Structure 1
Amino acid sequence: MTDNIFFNRADLKHCGSNVIIGKTARIRYPELVSIGDNVIIDDFTYISTQLEVSSFVHISSGCSIIGGRNAMVSFGQFSTLAPNVVLAAGSDDYISGLATPMVAEEFKGDVEIGSIHIGDHCIVGANSTILPNVTLSTGASVGANCLVKHDLEGWCLFAGAPVRRIKQRNAKIILALEQKFRNSK
């Protein structure tokens, strides 16, 4: 497989087997990115932070995973982002600082640099945004057009801006399907 024009695949911290990365995906700091097996990162995705991706993960087109070199985003197995999701593991100070990466730290104000953890079997719907220092526990599912500002409990469906719990997901069925899938290999 050839490298695309936006980064060199050989510069990734780790890249597992059966990984598909779209030709127009952009990874600003490939040396900070680890990708497991059986992962797809679609075209027009932008990544500018530390990233750890487990196996069987799909990051759809147009997603932005941002926060800078000191922030961290991680994905558990069987998790997915729908198109145009923003994971912002870092956030500028819009009240009293200059909000641009092109100025020295002393002029930025109270910048929030943190992490986002997407657990196993999590789904994030199209056009949703997750802010710094948020964990989606195993099985959490976020609908389209949501704003996530706090940790979400596992095996629940959430919707809204900001999100609120809507209903329970069926963990037993989902985990049984995972086991069937693994046994079929």
Structure 2
Amino acid sequence: MIAKNATIIGLENISIGNNVRIDGGVVLAAHSGSLVVGDYIHIGGGSYLGCAGGITLGDFANLSQGVRIYSSSDDYSGEALTNPTVPPAYLKLTKAPVALGRHVIVGSGSVILPGANIGEGSAVGALSLVLRPLEAWGIYAGAPARRLKARSRALLELEQALLANKGC
């Protein structure tokens, strides 16, 4: 299910799995780079995925409202010009793929920057800033995001039950 008011740029660079819901106001910007969306994915309203460096969402990943994922970023040091209207020769971009593992959940208003992969089963609290890769099965929060504790793996049994019942 994709909301009528979702904006999809670069459809030819996007792969969407089964049982996916993309809410209203979402922007998928894949005019360059790629976006791979697994199965059983939810992308909450008002989220933005900038795919120039590539973004992959593993099965059962969930983005709450207003999540921003950037796989490319301008250099803010003043050593280069910034913004998409400037020719590439005058820019200094950081591009790195972003991958969210299976069962990752990202809270509302969080921002994920280039190269900040999130390991399987991890949860990121609302309004967090993910600057670097996060290890699997942790609960993270803050700006920058820090590990608070381990996350339960009990949901893996629920996944098996769901798949055994063919989604019923």
* TM score, norm. by length of structure 1: 0.85
Alpha-carbon separation, structure 1, partners of 2:19 and 2:86: 38
Residues 1:162 and 2:144 are matched in the alignment: yes
Identity of paired residues, percent? Answer: 36
Alpha-carbon separation, structure 2, partners of 1:67 and 1:30: 12
Q: Which residue of 2 aligns with 1:35?
A: 16
C-alpha displacement at 1:159, in angstroms?
0.6
RMSD: 0.9
Letter in 2 for 1:133: G
Residues 1:73 and 2:61 are matched in the alignment: no
What are the residue-to-residue correspondences of 1:18-29 with 2, within 5 Å? Answer: 20-29=1-10
Structure 1: where are the runs of 5+ without partners? 1-19
Residues 1:47 and 2:42 are matched in the alignment: no
Residues 1:178 and 2:159 are matched in the alignment: yes
What are the residue-to-residue correspondences of 1:92-103 with 2, within 5 Å? Answer: 92-95=74-77, 96-103=79-86
Greater fraction of residues in strand: 1
- For 1:95-148, what per-residue CA distance to the aligned partner results, in whole angstroms no more than 9, with x for missing partners? 22221111111111x210111000000000000000001211110110000000
Q: Which residue of 1 aligns with 2:70?
A: 88
Q: Which residue of 1 aligns with 2:106?
A: 124
Alpha-carbon separation, structure 1, partners of 2:130 and 2:116: 8
C-alpha displacement at 1:53, in angstroms?
0.4
Asked if the contact 2:41–2:60 (Cα under 8 Å) also holds between the matched residues in 1, the reply is yes
Letter in 2 for 1:99: T
* CA distance 1:98–1:67, change in 2 (3 Å): farther
Give the secondary-structure state (helix, strand or coil) at the position aligned to 2:117.
strand
Letter in 1 for 2:112: I
Alpha-carbon separation, structure 1, partners of 2:54 and 2:82: 20
Q: Which residue of 2 aligns with 1:105?
A: 88
Asked if the contact 1:90–1:111 (Cα under 8 Å) also holds between the matched residues in 2, the reply is yes
Letter in 1 for 2:80: G
Letter in 1 for 2:139: L
Give the secondary-structure state (helix, strand or coil) at the position aligned to 1:145.
coil
Q: Which residue of 1 aligns with 2:43?
A: 59
Letter in 1 for 2:22: I
Structure 2: where are the runs of 5+ without partners? none
C-alpha displacement at 1:67, in angstroms?
4.2
Runs of 4 or more off by more than 4 Å in structure 1? none
